[in-house]
Amino acid sequence: MVDGLTVKDLEMEGCKKYICPNLNLIDLKGRELKISDKAIKRARDLADQYVKKTYQRPHYPSIKRVIPAFIYVASILEDDWKDRKTQLEVSEAFETTEGTVRKWYRDIIETLNIRKDIIDKIGYDPTNK
């Protein structure tokens, strides 16, 4: 339960109303970074799935810190290699660090079990440290 809400309440609302008021940043920054509409939609979908799986974690992250990584992952999955955004480009748009983007990027692909999709797109396992 989050702030008196049940899991069912969160699922009915798609997490947007109660937990993800900052999701409009995906649209705003996605357009600023000139990623495709398809990638913006994918980033929103990834955010929705991620929040549903993680909001019960003891140390639930501020969604604002994770949003740059949603855009980065979606750019990899949906955009052609020439249109993909780098961690640096995304981090600069959000005034954060590449390390923050990288940390949440790894968490997202592990949590959503999309590592294979990423490997298929970029040709290597980005979570190998």
Query: Who wins on pLDDT, 64 or 1?
Result: 64
Judged against a pLDDT cut of 70, whether residue 71 lies above it is answered with yes
Over residues 58-79, mean pLDDT:
84
3-state SS class at 58: coil
Instruction: Characterize 85-122 residue by residue with b for buried, 16 or more Cβ atoms within 10 angstroms of its Cβ, and e for exposed.
Output: bebebbbebbebebebbeebbbbbbeebebeeebeeee
Query: Length of the chain in residues, anyone?
Result: 129
Say which CATH topology domain 7-122 has. Cyclin A; domain 1 (1.10.472)
Q: What is the pLDDT of residue 34?
A: 93
Instruction: To the nearest 10°, report the CA torsion of 54, 11, 116, 95.
Output: -60
Judged against a pLDDT cut of 50, whether residue 69 lies above it is answered with yes
Report in angstroms the alpha-carbon separations of 128 from 55, 68, 110, 119: 26, 21, 12, 11
